[in-house]
Amino acid sequence: MAANKISPLKSMPGEKNAKADALSRSFVFSPREEAKLVSIVPKEVIVAALTPDLFSSLSKAQAMQMNNDSMVSEIFLLGFQHLNDFKFPMFSLILLIHILTIYGNVLVIALVTISHGLQSPMFFFIRQLSLSDLLESMVIVPILLKTVMNEGTKISLIGCIAQLYFFGISEVLQCFLLTVMSYDRYLAICNPLRYSSLMNHKFCVKLIVMSWVISFSVTPVVVISATTQKFCNQNTINHFFCDYFPLLELSCSDTSMARILQITMSMPVILTPLILIIVSYMCIGHEILKIVSNTGRQKAFSTCSSHLAVVSIFYGTLIAIYVVPPRKDSQTISKVLSLLYTVVTPFINPMIYSLKSADMKNALKILYNKENFVKFKAKS
């Protein structure tokens, strides 16, 4: 077939794109071949051919093409900017909290493991909660320290996804562990006669295994929705760790389905356990009000006050960040709340349970008493 005639081209800069388009169409021999030929000879290359400086224009066109196809391989975490004189004090404070968090949670795990006086179901669950706190602290705080010291830090995209994955596991696990612990308090106060038979060791193990299985099953669904996104051009996250919504802000593809999936998954994972906890404490409160003596009421309430404090801090910050729809002007508030439940909560959890529990304090006294340490080790 005969090719279309091409009118003489004048080298006017304003007409380059139109002429390039016309010239590229002139190489089309049939409608079926059009897409194929246009893809082989991009319009940017033809524009380059129409310019006087062919070499520089071709280089520019190639750079444009590579830029369109480039993908982000590193993420830059901004963290807390403009700290100035507060950088070293904040770094020192977070480092101290991190060390004490590791020490406190490892101590709780060790005490519950080796002490025969701490073998009740509640301490069995507290040990799992300490494991979850350790996981969260080890995943988040080292990167946080780098962002504070350097006022931002780089992390690979794979490392960012891995951090999001393990962080999600620890959060989901804590949701279900706190629910299991509230059920334990419900049985202890509302059904004390059958508590030992219902909350036996085998049932406790089943509850723990179920919590771990759910956390390992739910988290990949949300994380995979983030990994399927295309990350190009932008690579800066205004946060101190790779959280889900800040990571989606970098995507150059449509994130509406990923956001809907995250909210859909977070509703049952966060709100369903919270509803069960609220119902449990409503029953506990109703049962405590039936107790005539004030001493009996205080004793019953003291058995669940530490758990109630941890639940209030954990769910208060979690709902504010992941259930309430995010706003553009809430990034600073979100970072402060995230700092509260990723750094402070794992730090205070061991102290809350240790100071409120007479059995835990007795175990600590025995452990740190030099005269009875050998005796304690032999008994355990």
Say what the pLDDT of residue 374 is. 57
- Bin 84: left if φ > 0, else alpha if -120 < ψ < 50, else beta: left
- The architecture CATH gives domain 74-379: Up-down Bundle (1.20)
pLDDT digit string, tens, across residues 293-330: 888 888 888 888 888 888 988 888 877 776 666 665 56
Average pLDDT over residues 256-263: 81
C-alpha distances (whole Å) from 41 to each of 7, 30, 32, 37, 45 are 20, 16, 16, 6, 7
HSE of 216, CA atoms in CB hemisphere, 13 A: 6
pLDDT-derived band of residue 212, with 50, 70 and 90 as boundaries?
very high
Residue type, 362: N
pTM for this structure? Answer: 0.74
The average confidence (pLDDT) of the chain is: 77
As a whole-number percent, the residues of the chain with pLDDT over 90 amount to 25
Asked if 185 contacts 177 with a C-beta cutoff of 8 angstroms, the reply is: no
Point out the least confidently predicted range of 46-60, 76-90, 133-147. Answer: 46-60
Assess whether pLDDT exceeds 70 at residue 244.
yes
The full set of domain ranges for the chain reads 13-69, 74-379
Burial class from Cβ neighbours inside 10 Å (0-12, 13-18, 19+) for residue 138 reads middle
pLDDT digit string, tens, across residues 153-200: 898 888 888 999 999 999 999 999 999 999 999 999 988 888 988 899
